Amino acid sequence: MISEQEVKHIAKLARLELSEVEIKKMQKDLSVILDYFDLLKKSPKVRPIITQSSLIKGYGATRKDEAIPQKREVVEKIIASAPDKKDDYIKVKAIF
């Protein structure tokens, strides 16, 4: 059984505010699910093998790390979806 402390710690890492009721429910649900994962302990050991990505040409190809110019209207739409903004900037609360 996962402890209440552990649930709180994971929620903090995941940046999720959970109510006391949610923490209790999460503790119960996660415990059942994590117990089910114990099944994997029965699985045979494996040696690393070639992955799918190395078998198909062009799979997982990378591009140069460079900015791709976008149309002004796309930029405007993306900024518009931020809840808080000023001019072309997305506004955030103070760090502390």
Partner 1 sequence: MVDLTELTIKQAHEGLKSKKFTSVELTKAYLDKIKTIDKEINAYLLVDKEGALTQAEEADKKVATGEFGMLCGIPCSIKDAIMVEGQKCTAGSKILENYVAPYDATVIKKLKEQGAVILGKTNMDEFAMGGSGENSAFGATKNPYDKKRVAGGSSSGSAASVAGNEACYSLGSDTGGSIRLPASFCGVVGLKPTYGAVSRLGLIPFGSSLDQIGPVAKTVEDCKIIFDAIKGKDPADSTSVELEIGNSKLEIRNLRIGVPKEYFVKGLDPQVEKLIRDAIKKAQNAGAKIVEISLPSVEFALACYYIIAPCEASANLARFDGIKYGFSDNSANDLRDVYLKSRGHGFGDEVKRRIMIGTYALSSGYYDAYYKKAQEVRQLIKQDFAKAFDLSAGGVDLIFCPVSPVLAIKIGERTNDPLSMYLMDICTVSVNLAGLPALSLPAGKTKDNLPVGLQIIGNHFQESKILDVALQMEKILT
Which chain residues interact with partner 1 by CB under 8 A? 2, 6-7, 10-11, 13-18, 22, 25-26, 29-30, 32-34, 36-37, 39-40, 42-46, 48-49, 52, 56-63, 74, 77-78, 80-84, 90, 92-96
> Would you state the structure tokens that stand for residue 77, as one six-digit string?
């739409």
Minimum Å gap between C-beta 23 and partner 1 is 10
Question: Which parts of 2-95 fold into alpha helices (H)?
Answer: 4-13, 20-37, 72-80
Residues in the chain: 96
Query: Cα(16)–Cα(9) distance, rounded to whole angstroms?
Result: 10
Closer residue to partner 1, CB minimum distance, 1 or 33: 33
H-helix or E-strand spanning residue 86? strand 85-86
Minimum Å gap between C-beta 19 and partner 1 is 8
Closer residue to partner 1, CB minimum distance, 49 or 67: 49
Minimum Å gap between C-beta 7 and partner 1 is 8
Minimum Å gap between C-beta 31 and partner 1 is 10
> Would you state the structure tokens that stand for residue 61, as one six-digit string?
């190809």
**Residue 30 and residue 16 in contact, taking contact as beta carbons nearer than 8 Å:** no
